[in-house]
Chains A and B, each alone.
Chain A
């Protein structure tokens, strides 16, 4: 009816109506099911409050790592409008780098004990620095080799397929080089896995692990640092400018190539730190470690509204909590916790493609 309106929304009216109708059905069904489970859990509680707090604890720790990885997706998407499919594998490289650093410090003798336990704080800091820099360098080169030549490609799917190629390449190279069997992180005694503080509550107790607390604090510190970096520094300003409008940013004297590289370096640093945390907290890892966290962090980024940095942080936390609380809440097998994350991804994309914190109009077009 309105010519202007039609110009802005190219999809035909019929299709829009169909999708709205679908949205309503899916939304009502999902909402009703969640409501039913809430009532069910109140009427007939399967788990005591202690368990719920325990789940929350696990969720927060995993959520912190998801947030760090998700920020990388969001930053890169903002600058390049590309899902960096290799991001999970960049995290994997950071995890490996941290592992080798700890092994080296464990091997290095200082007096009677080894370096790892003589100077644990220094060892951990160095491991984070090395893990983050390995990931940053690999992110930089992945962008330079696999994405930059395709920025103006006439084939629409080319950058994404190239990203998949990079992901497979990194994964299989790590597999051949380091072997497919699972490896165990060597933590310093200060941060031993499994140990921590037991808090007794009513009929049970929660174990708050040292690695968990450390990871969560580290993640929050990194996130705050990133937030100030993006908001206050010149580079952060240029990243925001590029993600708002590439052409205008270039006209204002911003070097697109350099900003893109720097974005990849920053997202690599965050992913590498997340990788080292992952290793410290979970212990077991192999070349495949980046695959699932990568996809889930993408889910988190979508959940928070892709391109939105605080959204990615919140999305990661929410996803981590939902994922660890979900199986108990829905009364399903704990094997199926990955299914919950993917279902959330699909539901978000159906119900609110712009994410929980995204601007509604501008982002829908991107989807």
Chain B
């Protein structure tokens, strides 16, 4: 009993800290707002948050903590419900009193008319009022205790029910069995035509997409695809060859600035053809990758990470500095970067020329498909296999005849070139490029795309790009918390599922069905 007491009060403190923390960064009221919109269908346009949803969020946090506690607690079958009840009550009391103390303090500040925003920026008076359930402190404390109590009780009852009926576990097992039964891959293997047809369908769907969606979606799709291109490039470096490069944004910036200098009227006034400029910026980024890759090819993971980070910072500082301001425009950046001219074919087929953004999205899709194809070919080539061998074990790879140093440089060069292409597209799409766009966070985003999707997995990278760049656009309310969630996500992914959401599957040695028969014949004594 005593252990239950201490352990459950520990979990109560954890729940209380989560509650306080999400109140301090104003996360819980944002969540409450989202829930309110979800349930009322976005009709409620009032500025104040309905207290019910505030309590719901609080209850949910306590619910999850209690559930985690009960799941972790493997007590004997006897008295387990009573033990759980005691634990749930303690958790709700501890977390409730912690969050109440914070709100009593904040409430007293609010009554005195003091603005706490000087120190805690997230907590404006409106937000504090929302946290106080739009009433006075006394009622708010009662509400908090009520919601934490209800949350932990619901968790207890649900846990008890699930243990008695064994329901969720059964459902999950059933789903897993269903997944095993379907096995899309086997169908593809058996009927190659199905595979070809489905690929064709996907391509057709992608090609018709820009014509049917609105302008906002087009811009989001553009960004997602550019990040997908970057992710494909970084996937070659991090996922396949196993080198952690943090300064990926350096190559992106190199491509963007090369493209900008070649196509903008100022400072050089070359105003080159789009495709030629794209190619040149790709090559320049590749050369940059070579120059960076050459000295660092014998560095190990963490050193490589910091050195490339240093390179990226050097590039950013140089772009921003007075030294290069004549070429890069310093903090102002390069304006009026050229966009590609639409070929007249479109006009002939569609009657009128496509809108600029639609045409540019097609362009991005074209480049994306090109790079996707290249990435697929690379991954399953001799080079890709060498990279994978190197990632798994460098010494063994060397013993098998892989010249690791040159393969490492090759990976960085190809990845850098792809980033250069992405940078050129990005600059051309915005018709502007400036130093503020190449902060460290871009590298982190690109890394998150690769890690979340699954290191070394190409479909995973695409999924990662949609999650990292697409979801925040859809959940605009959570915009501020994007980086917080990324940070937490990177840690949680590494602990729970280090291989990513869509991990790469190892190819098995496949033998055609008819040759198996032949083999069997051969193996007969």
Q: Which residues of A contact B (CB under 8 A)?
A: 10-12, 14-15, 18-19, 22, 26, 82-83, 100, 103, 145-146, 149-150, 153-162, 164-173, 176-180, 291, 295, 298-299, 302, 332-333, 335-336, 338-339, 341-343, 345-346, 349-350, 353, 366-367
What mask results when residues 496 to 524 of chain B are scored 1 for a CB within 8 Å of chain A, else 0?
Answer: 00110000000000000000000000000
Q: Total interface residues on B, using CB and 8 Å?
A: 65
In chain B, positions 297-320 with a C-beta closer than 8 Å to chain A are 297-303, 305-307, 309-311, 313-314, 317-318, 320
Distance between B378 CB and nearest chain A CB, rounded to angstroms: 20
Most chain-B CB neighbours within 10 Å: which of A145, A149, A157? A157
Query: Quick one: which of B24, B395, B486 contacts A10, CB cutoff 8 A?
Result: B395
Besides A162-B495, A177-B120, A333-B321, 17 new A-B residue pairs in contact (Cβ under 8 A), listed by A number: A10-B395, A10-B398, A26-B295, A145-B491, A158-B498, A160-B305, A161-B447, A164-B246, A168-B486, A168-B490, A170-B487, A176-B25, A176-B26, A335-B321, A336-B318, A346-B296, A367-B299
A14 touches B403 (CB 8 A): yes
Contact A162 B321 (CB under 8 A): no
Pairs A–B under 8 Å by Cβ, sample size 30: A10-B394, A10-B399, A15-B298, A22-B294, A83-B302, A83-B305, A83-B306, A103-B119, A149-B495, A150-B494, A161-B447, A161-B490, A162-B491, A164-B490, A165-B494, A168-B444, A168-B484, A168-B487, A171-B487, A178-B119, A179-B117, A335-B323, A336-B321, A342-B313, A343-B314, A345-B306, A346-B295, A346-B296, A350-B295, A366-B300
- Chain B nearest CB from A299 CB (Å) reads 8
Chain B residues closer than 8 Å to A153, beta-carbon distance:
494, 498
Contact B487 A335 (CB under 8 A): no
Q: For the complex formed, measure the closest distance between the CB of B155 and the CB atoms of chain A, giving whole angstroms.
A: 22
CA–CA, A176 to B313, complex, Å? 24
Q: Is residue B327 within 8 Å, beta carbon to beta carbon, of the partner chain?
A: no
| Contact across chains for B494 and A162 when beta carbons are under 8 A apart | yes
B302 touches A82 (CB 8 A): yes
Is B356's beta carbon under 8 Å from chain A? Answer: no
State in angstroms the CA–CA spacing of A171 and B25 once bound together.
Answer: 12
Interface string of B393-419 (1 = CB under 8 A from A): 011001100011110000000000000
Q: How does the 8 Å CB contact mask read for B74-86 relative to A, with 1 for contact and 0 for none?
A: 0000000000000
Please indicate the chain A residues that have their CB under 8 angstroms from the CB of B404 in the complex. 11, 15
Chain B residues within 8 Å of A150, by CB: 494-495
Q: At the interface, yes or no: B488 with Cβ under 8 Å from chain A?
A: yes
Among residues 258 to 317 in chain B, which have CB atoms less than 8 Å away from a CB atom of chain A? 294-303, 305-307, 309-311, 313-314, 317
Q: Which residues of the partner chain B approach A82 to less than 8 Å between Cβ atoms?
A: 302
Q: Does B322 contact A (CB under 8 A)?
A: yes
Q: Are B306 and A100 in contact (CB under 8 A)?
A: no
Report how far A264 CA is from B342 CA in the complex, Å.
59
Chain B residue at smallest Cβ distance from A149? B495
Q: Which of chain B's residues have a CB closer than 8 A to the CB of A18?
A: 405
Segment 161-206 of B: residues with Cβ below 8 Å from A: none
B264 to chain A, nearest CB (A): 24
Q: Which residues of chain A have C-beta atoms less than 8 A from B394's C-beta?
A: 10
Instruction: Name the distance in Å between A137's Cβ and chain B's nearest Cβ.
Output: 12
Is the pair B317, A164 in contact by a Cβ cutoff of 8 Å?
no
- List residues of chain A with CB within 8 A of the CB of B320: 335
Q: How far is the CB of B485 from chain A (nearest CB, A)?
A: 9
3 closest pairs, A vs B, by CB?
A: A165-B490, A169-B487, A179-B121
Residues of A within 8 A of B306 (CB): 83, 295, 298, 302, 345
B122 within 8 A of partner (CB)? yes
Q: Which of A18, A159, A164, A338 has the most CB of B within 10 A?
A: A164
B317 and A172 within 8 A (CB): no
Q: B238 within 8 Å of A by Cβ?
A: yes
B122 and A177 contact, CB distance less than 8 A? yes
Q: Are B311 and A346 touching (Cβ within 8 A)? A: yes
A349 to B303, Cβ gap below 8 A?
yes
A22–B405 Cα gap in the complex (Å)? 13
Question: Is A176 a contact of B302 with CB atoms below 8 Å?
Answer: no
Within 8 A of A (CB), among B214-267: 238, 242, 244, 246
Q: Are A367 and B300 in contact, CB atoms less than 8 angstroms apart?
A: yes
Residues of A within 8 A of B303 (CB): 302, 349, 353, 367
Question: Which residues does chain A contribute within 8 Å of B297, judged by CB atoms?
Answer: 19
| CA A11 to CA B481, docked complex, whole Å | 45
**B375, CB-defined interface residue at 8 Å:** no
A367→B297 CA distance, assembly (Å): 11
Asked whether A335 and B491 contact (CB < 8 A) given A83-B302, A173-B484, the answer is no
Q: Which residues of A lie under 8 Å from residue B108 when comparing CB positions? A: none
Is B157 at the interface (CB under 8 A from chain A)? no
Judge whether B489 is part of the interface by a CB distance below 8 angstroms: yes
Asked if B61 is at the interface (CB within 8 A of a chain A CB), the reply is no
Cβ–Cβ contact A172 & B483, under 8 A: yes
Q: Provide the residues of chain A in CB contact with B498, threshold 8 Å.
A: 153-155, 158
* B-side contacts of A154, CB under 8 Å: 498
Partner of B494, one of A103, A155, A367: A155
From known contacts A177-B24, A338-B313, infer whether A164 and B447 are also in contact, taking CB-CB under 8 Å: yes
B489: nearest chain-A partner, CB-CB: A165
B440 interfacial by beta-carbon distance below 8 Å: yes
State which of B121, B238, B483 has its C-beta within 8 Å of the C-beta of A168.
Answer: B483
* Contacts A83-B305, A165-B494, A346-B307 given; does A156 touch B480 at CB 8 Å: no
Give the docked Cα–Cα distance between A302 and B302 (Å): 12
Contact residues in A for B119 (Cβ distance below 8 Å)? 100, 103, 178
Distance A179 CA – B119 CA, assembled complex (angstroms) = 8
Please, how many angstroms separate the alpha-carbon atoms of A87 and B486 in the complex? 18
> Nearest-CB distance from B425 to chain A (Å)?
26
Asked if B451 is at the interface (CB within 8 A of a chain A CB), the reply is: yes
Q: Which residues of B contact A157 (CB under 8 A)?
A: 238, 242, 244, 301, 455
Are A11 and B444 closer than 8 Å at their CB atoms? no
Q: Which residues of B contact A171 (CB under 8 A)?
A: 483, 487
Q: Specify which of B294, B298, B305, B499 is in contact with A155 (CB 8 Å cutoff).
A: B499
* Distance to closest chain B CB from A74 (angstroms): 13
Of chain B, the residue at the smallest CB distance from A298 is: B306
Q: Given A339-B318, A367-B299, are A156 and B242 neighbors across the interface (CB < 8 Å)?
A: yes
Q: Considering the complex, give the chain A residue whose CB is closest to the CB of B399.
A: A10
Contact of B323 among A162, A176, A336, A345 (CB under 8 A): A336
Q: A176-B25, A339-B318 are in contact. Are A367 and B298 (CB under 8 A)?
A: yes
A177 cross-chain contacts in B, Cβ below 8 A: 24-25, 120-122
Q: How far, in angstroms, from A171 to B483 measured CA to CA in the complex?
A: 9
How far, in angstroms, from A298 to B322 measured CA to CA in the complex? 27
Contacts of B484 in A (CB 8 A): 168-169, 172-173, 176
Assess the B451–A161 pair: CB atoms within 8 A. Answer: yes
Task: Specify which chain B residues have a CB less than 8 angstroms from the CB of A299 in the assembled complex.
Answer: 310
Out of B120, B305, B317, B481, name the residue touching A339 (CB < 8 Å).
B317
Chain B CB count within 10 A is highest, among A103, A158, A168, for: A168
- A293 → chain B closest CB, angstroms: 13
Residues of A within 8 A of B121 (CB): 176-180
Partner of A15, one of B24, B296, B309, B405: B405
A172 contact set on B, CB distance < 8 A: 483-484, 487
